[in-house]
Amino acid sequence: MNGAPDLELDTAWMGRMGEWGTTVRPGKRGLTLEDIRIGGYGELPEESDNMSGRPRGAAERPEAFRIGGYTVRSKREIWLENATFLYEEALQRQWSSATDIPWETIEPLPDDIEEAECALCTFFNEVEFVAGDVPARWVANISPDFFEARNVLLAQVQDEARHMDVFRKRALANGGGLTRVTGATSGFVGGIDLSRDFTEMSSRMHVSGEGAVLSMFRMGELVGQNPAEKRMYRLCAQDEARHVAFGIMHLRYLHATAPDRHEEIEAYLDEAENLSLTGGTNPAGPQAETSEALAILLGGGKQHYDEGFRILLAIRKRQLKEYMQRVKSAGFGERFENGRSPVPGRIAALC
């Protein structure tokens, strides 16, 4: 070829590959990421020095560029024991808001109920993608040596896009439209958005924020006015449970591997218990406008507001109890016994 570069076949690289001779067979759940964690490919470094973005286990090139710029390079800062399970489950349980919701079952509702549903949907449109934006921001900062954990976050980003989407669809499907935003997730210091540490962010977002939303979604049978809404909450709850599980399992790993950070984590939990659980990011929280909308939906109209509000109080109690369970399972349960946490007192006040 005229002027073409000399393109001989090179085979020298065949002697410079990663560990060789790996044969993994699919199991009952197919070929999962857990199945391929074998030999050197399953070994995770405590500290990752991978700055070129190579897949874990690939052979290094000394001349590769340090293009990763990763800031999360310690296993304890990001890891959780069941990342592969959560990722594979996320792929198995994807759904479509276009075709998996029986939209045709939505019938016109009384104005107050429609407006309450739309206020709730507007709120979820506003906050669902906090949990999309923020994990996305972290993904490119995490060493790909911990790609299993990264994959769970990426699946979450997609889940949240779908949540934002399903609630927008509901708001525009039955006459109400979007209402006014609450501003609950603005740029407040101490909020989920602005955390500079991954675990700080995760404890706020996954454990307290999404935990409260999960408890609420699980009451979707009571909140939803028709099969479409009930299904919407059920499917979102399924996804939310994985997001919360990420946070708990990560906290549990950190608890076991980083005793020097216990007190710092306790401080985040203090903040969460005094702010996120009671403030505007919890749709059923005492300071959230959406609590009123929820009470209307739960009671079945403005005229049954008191009745609805009492169901809401029961939901709050449940949120708090489930929160305690989660924190205990992450290893930080002592705070509920030693008087540090205000949560047991709040539960008692609701009894």
- Cβ atoms < 10 Å from Cβ of 205: 27
Question: At its nearest, how many Å lie between other proteins and the CB of residue 219?
Answer: 9
Q: Is 128 in the site for Fe ion (CB under 5 A)?
A: yes
Q: Which helix (H) or strand (E) holds 79?
A: none
Of 75-83, 198-206, 242-250, 312-320, which segment contacts other proteins by CB under 8 A? 312-320
Residue nearer to other proteins on the CB measure, 132 or 285: 132
**Tokens at 212, concatenated:** 């409260």
Binding residue (CB under 8 A) for other proteins from 45, 74, 76, 169: 169
DSSP lists the bridge partners of residue 72 as: 142
- Shortest distance, position 255 Cβ to other proteins, whole Å: 27
Residue 31 binds other proteins, judged by CB under 8 A: yes
110 touches other proteins by CB under 8 A: no
* Per-residue x/- track, 142-181, Fe ion (CB under 5 A): ------------------x--x------------------
Q: Which is nearer to other proteins, 35 or 264 (CB)?
A: 35
The DSSP bridge partners found for residue 71 are: none
Burial of 15 (0-12, 13-18, 19+ CB in 10 A): exposed
Q: In whole angstroms, what is the distance from residue 232 CA to residue 122 CA?
A: 15
Among other proteins, Fe ion, none, what does residue 59 contact (CB within 5–8 Å per kind)? other proteins
**Interface pick for other proteins out of 129, 253, 268, 332 (rule CB under 8 A):** 129
- Picked from other proteins, Fe ion, none, the partner binding residue 24 (CB below 5 to 8 A depending on kind) is other proteins
Please, which of residues 204-223 interact with Fe ion by CB under 5 A? 210
Of residues 186 through 215, those in contact with other proteins by CB under 8 A are 186-188, 193
Using CB under 5 A as the binding rule, the residues of this chain from 300 to 319 that contact Fe ion are: none
Bridge partner residues of 142 (DSSP): 72
To other proteins, the closest distance from the beta carbon of 334 in angstroms equals 26
DSSP one-letter string for 3-17: TPPP-----GGGGS-
CA 176 vs CA 114, 229, 266, 281, 301: distances in Å = 6, 14, 42, 22, 15
Spatial contact of 173 and 109, defined as CB atoms under 8 Å apart: no
Q: Which is closer to Fe ion, CB of 212 or CB of 312?
A: 212
How many whole angstroms separate alpha carbon 52 and alpha carbon 182? Answer: 42
Minimal distance, residue 248 CB to other proteins, in Å: 22
Tell me the site size for other proteins, rule CB under 8 A: 125
Q: x-or-dash pattern for other proteins, window 223-262, by CB under 8 A?
A: ----------------------------------------
Which residues does 1 contact at the CB level (< 8 Å), separation at least 6? none
Cα 262 from Cα 306, distance rounded (Å): 42
**Which residues from 216-255 bind Fe ion, rule CB under 5 A?**
240, 243
Interface of this chain with other proteins, residues 55 to 94, rule: CB under 8 A: 55, 57-61, 63-65, 67-69, 88, 91-92, 94
Instruction: Give the Cα separation of 308 and 177 in Å (integer).
Output: 23
The three-state DSSP-derived secondary structure of 113-134 is: HHHHHHHHHHHHHHHHCHHHHH
* Contacting positions for Fe ion (CB under 5 A): 128, 131, 160, 163, 210, 240, 243
